[in-house]
Structure 1
Amino acid sequence: MDSKAYKNSNYSVEYMTVNTTGFYVFGYDEKVLVYQIGLSVSNFHVVKLDFNGQFTISSFSGTNLKQEFVGPDDGCQIPLACGRVGLCTDNTLSSSPLCSCPPNFHVASGNVGGCVPNDGSNSLPLACTNNHSESNSSDVSFLIIGYGVGYFGNIYSDPFMYGVNLSVCQGFCLSNCSCLGILYRNSSRSCFMIENELGSISNKGEEDMLGLIKVNILTNNKKNSQKERFPVIAAVLLPIVGMILVMAVFLLIWRKFRKSKNQDVKLGKSISISHSSGDLDHEAFYIPGLPSRFDYEELEVATENFKTLIGSGAFGVVYKGVLPDNNIVAVKKIMNIGVQGKKDFFTEIAVIGNIHHVNLVRLKGFCAQRGHRMLVYEYMNRGSLDRNLFGNGPVLEWQERLDVALGTARGLAYLHSGCDQKIIHCDIKPENILLHDQFQAKISDFGLSKLLSPQQSGLFTTMRGTRGYLAPEWLTNSAISEKTDVYSFGMVLLELVSGRKNCSFRSRSRSRHSNMDENNSTNNSGNSSNSSATGLVYFPLYALEMHEQRSYMDLADPRLEGRVTFDEVEKLVRIALCCVHEEPTLRPNMVSVVGMLEGGTSLPQPRMESLHFLRFYGRRFSEASVIEEDNENGSVIMIQQQPRDSTPIISAFSYISSQNISGPR
């Protein structure tokens, strides 16, 4: 689950090794690489699995051990951080977590460790074995440990059941002697089981996650006396009672099934879009871990009749809302309803609702009712990156920009290599990077994503994205891959350095970032392929020229007023230029980019032969700028496609107009 981990295949892990370059795990008789984690080059590494379940990799730096990887990095995700059923809370003042006991439990005495039930007639069960059956010695019940809890095992496993109510979840656990507890998510009606061993309970779970622990009710004497007193009655009544219970369960299931026919969600069905029906309210789809479903009236009240507009894009507008539980949300109203709009809507639910990462915006729910299509996201209180970077508010400090770059890179690395299926975002830009507290970056808007299996080439047939961030392969009929996102990320990285849009129409004199002398300015203008009579500048080309001259400080945002060093700017510019290589195979993957930003991977030198295309773009930018200035409605610059064995003439595809070209045209 770590952002450094690069997933290569879906084989089961069978073997692991570590050398001077990285940590590797293999499957299929040690022949297939499943995961790899890049490490700094070192003479040797020390790999340790601690008694408590924490895994660390360290290397020698001078005379000291330097920790390079730890998993899990959250102390409460260690199986027995606080003992059996101990309630674990992060401790900001220490690396050791704070431990307590949940309601209905107290600290166990003696050497037992962890927590035990307050009621002495209850005991924690053991998982069943061939020589043990708990049903012979006790009745079984549940003790509630509360809402908002989590369990380390949930990270590595999916829910046992989807779309069931709490009583059904409890029933399955009661019928399975290896089940020792359950966690139930109300929003998606998902049932997680704690099996075989009881570990610690995390106090940092999802708000709607309810935890229950199975307990034995010690009633052996009573059972024995009843068995001796009424053996015949028991033999007759038990089958009858069992049949009645079975019939009652079937009746409840039948009624639930009848009721669900009038809903959008039907258990056990896959996404199914009817082209003959004008209303999606009767279409059936099933998504594992489905987020909450809201009625239109609920969201209308939450947003005060869609009063506060906080953003807009190619697929809809976003409003601020407050749910009844006082949680602030962002409600995205999908505008372009139609077959393509329907597909994008359900794609976004399927993608965001089923993946979880700290640098991806969380989908809390959706609405599909009477033609309304809405998505409910967690609210990001600092807004989008473009407003913070290009707006008139307080300037983003360099460390904050680094944090945004690293968070975005980690989110993309997870999408590309951390999910079961590769996810290509296709529209990475500052507007789709949202900021939370402490400028934590989260990627949003997965409506243009494509889910690719490892066997698929990823060739798209329609152009998607936004001007200024589109990779060259969109125009050459080349296969679209995750390297397309890498290109867009590189363009965003350049904007983080300069503090302005790469494609903004600004004069060269206004874009200079240092007080250069007249001779230097003249020389630069003379050899620059993006110069024009009006002095307009295409910043990616300008960055390439300054890289060639090693004049990196000319690229830094002047608003930082010296609060950034030469080496810091050089690092981001070199990474950005490597990301925007014309040839996709020369671009690094996002896992490598994360390593570069973190400092664990050495910085490569940009390949100049794969960056010459920026000179064509710069020249076309100047030409397009003149045309656009003459046309107040914006001009469409045509693309001349040449044979594949010749150099394509690209007329500034990044500047097609002032509008997004998200989605098919």
Structure 2
Amino acid sequence: MASKYALFLLLLVHYRSATCDREHPGFIRLGSFLSPANHSTSWLSPSGRFAFGFYPNGDGFSVGIWMTSEAENTTPWTSEAENTTTWTANRDDRPVRSTAMLELTLDGRLLLRTDSRNSKLIASVSESASYAAMNDSGNFILYDKDHHVIWDSFSFPTDTLMGGQYLPHGAALLSSMSKSNRSTGRFRLEMQDDGNLVLYPIHTPNISLDAYWASVTQGDRLDLHLNSTGALLLIKNTDSTVRGTLYGGSSVSNNSITYRLVLDSNGILQLYSHSFNRTVVYKTSLEWSIPDDKCSVKSFCGFNSYCTLDDDQPVCRCLPGTNFVDMDQKSRGCERNFTEEWCRDSGRNASSRNIVPMENMGWDDPPYFQAKMQEDDCSKSCLEDCDCDVALLDLDSYCKKQKLPLKYARRNPKASSTAFFKVGFEGVKEKQAGATVPEVPLPTVIIRTKDATVLLLVVTLGLVTWSCVALAISGLFAFKLRFFEYRKLLDRGDIGLSQELALRSFSYKELKRATNGFKEELGKGSFGAVYKGSFSKGKRIVAVKRLEKVINEGEREFRAEMRVIGRTHHKNLVRLLGYCAEESKRLLVYEFMSNGSLADLLFRSQRRPDWSERVRIATEIAKGILYLHEECDAPIIHCDIKPQNILMDDFWTAKISDFGLAKLLMPDQTRTFTGVRGTRGYMAPEWQKNTPISLKTDVYSYGIVLLEIVCCRRNMEVDVQRPEEIVLSSWVYMHFEAGELEKLVRGEEVERKSLEKLIKVGLWCIQDEPALRPSMKCVAMMLEGITDIAVPPCPTAASL
């Protein structure tokens, strides 16, 4: 009797379980699992339109959500499924093998087990799930025991929004690399906090220069919403009011149609509709896309290349004088196919370079020089300028000179501009597509008599004399013409040409007008404030330093700046363009550095620079100091190397500024005495000991800056958890000695060998004894891996 009763209870439980499963076909119980090696590879939504599970990715499998087709009722491995993947878990992880298993564990966690020992969470939740469901909107959801949502895939979009899904303010869609590679790609759609929906290349700041499409809407905390009718709306999240409509969608809701918004791998934002029938076969239609011009997507092509349409499809092509970095990945850009050696040897000018013109070209990169010119003069000016790689003559006859690389070059058939590209001789031959120039043999002169010899000498001397006179007259006219053109440029306030010839002398009235009465202050240094100014109707931005100390000290500072910066020219030094010296007024005009200082990037930026960027910046600073120490006419001691004096240009190149404290040495000098200068924390010990300073003083300051770059923190911080962390050098050496370098970068993924190299170089640079510090040439060689680095001893400051 007892056995019959037990059998009855077992059948009742089985019946209730089966009934529950029939009522909830998308219900996924604890203990359920999937595996690519088994037939059960996915969990379907109730209608079978969507699947969650394993899909093929390269040589392995990834976990994600995709739309199904009729064929997927028998197998999920179809190209249709791959083409309509809507979400991928841990998209930048490597694909897993067929032995992997996806499990909703009995303790309520969603785990991906790659083998018997390794597993990874798919969904991070604070409490255990009781069950899961894949619903017909394309959302995979985890529920708690009270049927509340504790996690869903809609809250973590990748490159796609489905009907009913939101993109909240401050969030972004990131494109995939390609249709077959779902890892993070090259573009992003950002719902900014100011209410503007903007398309950018992925690793760029949120500035208009890098944007290639924007909704041009404003309002605090707007969310992007794709509703069930396909309408694309900007909604105020506090009261759900519509503040903008990007696409109107259908007038009625249709359960047989699903909408999908995707940021494609080519940077185009596209809205699709998918029509389903009872057999789950769907038809896809493109409803809306932006931008209309596929070549307007910035960074679709890399540096020194431009986009053009071929059968309505965007393709990348190299600018004249450059070749693709990688023929298999043309989006990586192009590099120059000739060197600049001709600039050092004027005798080779005619045979080593030429100009190739291109019509209808344009770019957004700011020029370093511009002036009104004729077409021939613009081409010739770039050809004779070692700094010029390309010149653009626009519709207003302004000749704008640029250096490579060009970031956002494009070709527009409607534009009326002409670009002149400087190319090497090999580049010219390639441009001629194999055309050869026949060699003309020199004529042989045979002298038969004495009279013929005399006649030949008279004719030769006559020709030489006439040529010299003609050249002298031509040179005089050319000089007069250039002189009058230069006077016109000065009267117009254009500083570009003077940058090529010599430092420009400004009047105080000119600089006051250029800075709008010294209205916009960029920063304040030891000897005065720096203001933003502009010339040529705002087309040329400069920084004007106004010296504010007493007259004697100001003049000393002014003369030091003029003497040092006026004779230096290096890509990692801020360039001096001109000056003003009227009565007691002393002002300096520098090139404008648009991205602030290294201190802003390290200590105030919300995004910590990635490791490769920090290594590059450290190397560029070292090269700039090396130029001052060893490559100038006389060695120059900067005396105030610190992050505030390292500025970043438009391309985030590091440049050393503020030479007001520089000490100019004579060629036979190696050390000098001077008053204490510099900034506390970056000053070498010899400043305090009243001993002669040398080039090693800058090496010490560079070492402190290098450690700050590595750790992204200041050399002295009091708001720390433990006292030993207050002084950066002590904290660094403590972890270096203990072999715990990863604690210096606080869990950041960096290459350990590279990290150890930079730490060693920094510790050698901050040795108490100047003789123990390496020269900047040795520092640069160690950073580039040319020289081995010994284990540094403990710096005196680190032992205190």
TM-score (norm 2): 0.42
Indicate conservation of the 8 Å contact 1:75/1:81, yes or no.
Answer: no
Correspondent of 2:497 among 205, 208, 213: 208
Instruction: State how far apart, in whole Å, the 2-side matches of 1:470 and 1:138 are.
Output: 60
Q: Which amino acid aligns with 1:549?
A: A
Partner in structure 1 of residue 17 of structure 2: none
1:74 matches 2:401: no
Partner in structure 2 of residue 554 of structure 1: 743
Q: Which amino acid aligns with 2:340?
A: D
Partner in structure 2 of residue 378 of structure 1: 591
Instruction: State how far apart, in whole Å, the 1-side matches of 2:601 and 2:472 are.
Output: 49
Cα distance, 1:536 vs structure 2: 5.7
Q: 1:210 to 1:301 in 2, by over 3 A?
A: closer
Instruction: State how far apart, in whole Å, the 2-side matches of 1:484 and 1:353 are.
Output: 23
1:476 matches 2:689: yes
Correspondence list, 1:158-197, <5 A: 170=479
SS across alignment from 2:614: helix
SS across alignment from 1:596: helix
Cα distance, 1:137 vs structure 2: 4.7
Indicate conservation of the 8 Å contact 1:486/1:579, yes or no.
Answer: yes
What are the superposed Cα offsets for residues 415-473 of structure 1, whole Å, 9 maximum, x if unpaired?
Answer: 00001111000000001001113321110011111111232242223100001000001
1:357 matches 2:570: yes
How many residues align structurally? 373
Instruction: State how far apart, in whole Å, the 2-side matches of 1:377 and 1:400 are.
Output: 25
Instruction: State how far apart, in whole Å, the 2-side matches of 1:488 and 1:580 are.
Output: 8
1:543 matches 2:732: yes
Instruction: State how far apart, in whole Å, the 1-side matches of 2:725 and 2:663 are.
Output: 36
Instruction: State how far apart, in whole Å, the 1-side matches of 2:767 and 2:697 are.
Output: 10
Q: 1:136 to 1:333 in 2, by over 3 A?
A: same
Cα distance, 1:97 vs structure 2: 3.4
Partner in structure 1 of residue 609 of structure 2: 396
Instruction: State how far apart, in whole Å, the 1-side matches of 2:636 and 2:779 are.
Output: 17
Cα distance, 1:299 vs structure 2: 1.1
Instruction: State how far apart, in whole Å, the 1-side matches of 2:341 and 2:498 are.
Output: 20
Instruction: State how far apart, in whole Å, the 2-side matches of 1:615 and 1:545 are.
Output: 9
Partner in structure 2 of residue 563 of structure 1: 749
Indicate conservation of the 8 Å contact 1:185/1:210, yes or no.
Answer: no
1:340 matches 2:553: yes
Indicate conservation of the 8 Å contact 2:353/2:424, yes or no.
Answer: no
Q: 1:132 to 1:424 in 2, by over 3 A?
A: farther
Instruction: State how far apart, in whole Å, the 1-side matches of 2:767 and 2:485 are.
Output: 45
- Per mean C-alpha deviation after superposition, the further-off stretch among 481-490 and 498-507 is 498-507
Q: Which amino acid aligns with 1:403?
A: R
Instruction: State how far apart, in whole Å, the 1-side matches of 2:485 and 2:665 are.
Output: 28
Instruction: State how far apart, in whole Å, the 1-side matches of 2:675 and 2:485 are.
Output: 38
Partner in structure 1 of residue 520 of structure 2: 308
Q: Which amino acid aligns with 1:320?
A: K
Correspondence list, 1:5-24, <5 A: none
Partner in structure 1 of residue 424 of structure 2: 97
Partner in structure 2 of residue 486 of structure 1: 699
Instruction: State how far apart, in whole Å, the 2-side matches of 1:210 and 1:490 are.
Output: 33
Instruction: State how far apart, in whole Å, the 2-side matches of 1:138 and 1:476 are.
Output: 65
Q: Which amino acid aligns with 1:615?
A: S
Instruction: State how far apart, in whole Å, the 2-side matches of 1:292 and 1:138 are.
Output: 33
Q: Which amino acid aligns with 1:464?
A: R
Q: Which amino acid aligns with 2:791?
A: Q
Partner in structure 1 of residue 658 of structure 2: 445
Instruction: State how far apart, in whole Å, the 1-side matches of 2:715 and 2:772 are.
Output: 22
Indicate conservation of the 8 Å contact 1:428/1:489, yes or no.
Answer: yes
Indicate conservation of the 8 Å contact 2:554/2:586, yes or no.
Answer: no
Instruction: State how far apart, in whole Å, the 2-side matches of 1:553 and 1:344 are.
Output: 43
**Greater relative contact order: 1 or 2 (C-alpha under 8 angstroms, separation 6 or more)?**
1
Instruction: State how far apart, in whole Å, the 2-side matches of 1:137 and 1:462 are.
Output: 60
**Aligned CA-pair RMSD:** 3.9
Instruction: State how far apart, in whole Å, the 2-side matches of 1:335 and 1:327 are.
Output: 25
Instruction: State how far apart, in whole Å, the 1-side matches of 2:782 and 2:575 are.
Output: 27
Indicate conservation of the 8 Å contact 2:546/2:587, yes or no.
Answer: yes
Instruction: State how far apart, in whole Å, the 2-side matches of 1:142 and 1:136 are.
Output: 10
Cα distance, 1:392 vs structure 2: 3.3
Q: 1:439 to 1:305 in 2, by over 3 A?
A: same
1:416 matches 2:615: no
SS across alignment from 1:329: strand
Instruction: State how far apart, in whole Å, the 1-side matches of 2:716 and 2:464 are.
Output: 70
Cα distance, 1:398 vs structure 2: 1.3
Q: Which amino acid aligns with 2:351?
A: G
Q: 1:109 to 1:445 in 2, by over 3 A?
A: same
SS across alignment from 1:377: strand
Cα distance, 1:554 vs structure 2: 1.0
Indicate conservation of the 8 Å contact 2:353/2:423, yes or no.
Answer: no
Correspondent of 1:328 among 530, 538, 541: 541
What are the superposed Cα offsets for residues 499-545 of structure 1, whole Å, 9 maximum, x if unpaired?
Answer: 11011222235xxxxxxxxxxxxxxxxxxxxx4xxx66211111111
Partner in structure 2 of residue 269 of structure 1: none
Correspondence list, 1:425-436, <5 A: 425-436=638-649
Q: Which amino acid aligns with 1:503?
A: M
Correspondence list, 1:250-289, <5 A: none
Instruction: State how far apart, in whole Å, the 2-side matches of 1:297 and 1:412 are.
Output: 35
Q: Which amino acid aligns with 2:552?
A: V
Instruction: State how far apart, in whole Å, the 1-side matches of 2:799 and 2:700 are.
Output: 16
SS across alignment from 1:359: coil
SS across alignment from 2:694: coil
Cα distance, 1:354 vs structure 2: 1.1
Partner in structure 2 of residue 615 of structure 1: 799
Correspondence list, 1:506-517, <5 A: 506-509=719-722
Partner in structure 1 of residue 351 of structure 2: 83
Indicate conservation of the 8 Å contact 1:359/1:408, yes or no.
Answer: yes
Indicate conservation of the 8 Å contact 2:514/2:535, yes or no.
Answer: yes
Indicate conservation of the 8 Å contact 1:75/1:95, yes or no.
Answer: no
Partner in structure 2 of residue 50 of structure 1: none
Indicate conservation of the 8 Å contact 1:184/1:210, yes or no.
Answer: no
Instruction: State how far apart, in whole Å, the 1-side matches of 2:608 and 2:503 are.
Output: 36
Q: Which amino acid aligns with 2:665?
A: L
Unaligned residue ranges in structure 2 (runs of 5+): 1-337, 356-382, 384-388, 391-403, 407-420, 430-434, 442-459, 490-494
Instruction: State how far apart, in whole Å, the 2-side matches of 1:491 and 1:562 are.
Output: 21
If each structure's strand is expressed as a fraction of its own residues, which one has the higher value? Answer: 2
Instruction: State how far apart, in whole Å, the 1-side matches of 2:773 and 2:751 are.
Output: 26
Q: 1:82 to 1:341 in 2, by over 3 A?
A: same
Partner in structure 1 of residue 771 of structure 2: 585
Instruction: State how far apart, in whole Å, the 1-side matches of 2:498 and 2:518 are.
Output: 29
Cα distance, 1:562 vs structure 2: 2.6
Cα distance, 1:600 vs structure 2: 1.6
1:575 matches 2:761: yes
Instruction: State how far apart, in whole Å, the 1-side matches of 2:436 and 2:542 are.
Output: 41
Q: 1:495 to 1:167 in 2, by over 3 A?
A: farther
Instruction: State how far apart, in whole Å, the 1-side matches of 2:518 and 2:440 are.
Output: 56
What are the superposed Cα offsets for residues 479-517 of structure 1, whole Å, 9 maximum, x if unpaired?
Answer: 1000000000000001001111011222235xxxxxxxx
Q: 1:137 to 1:595 in 2, by over 3 A?
A: closer
Q: 1:74 to 1:456 in 2, by over 3 A?
A: same
Instruction: State how far apart, in whole Å, the 2-side matches of 1:134 and 1:464 are.
Output: 61
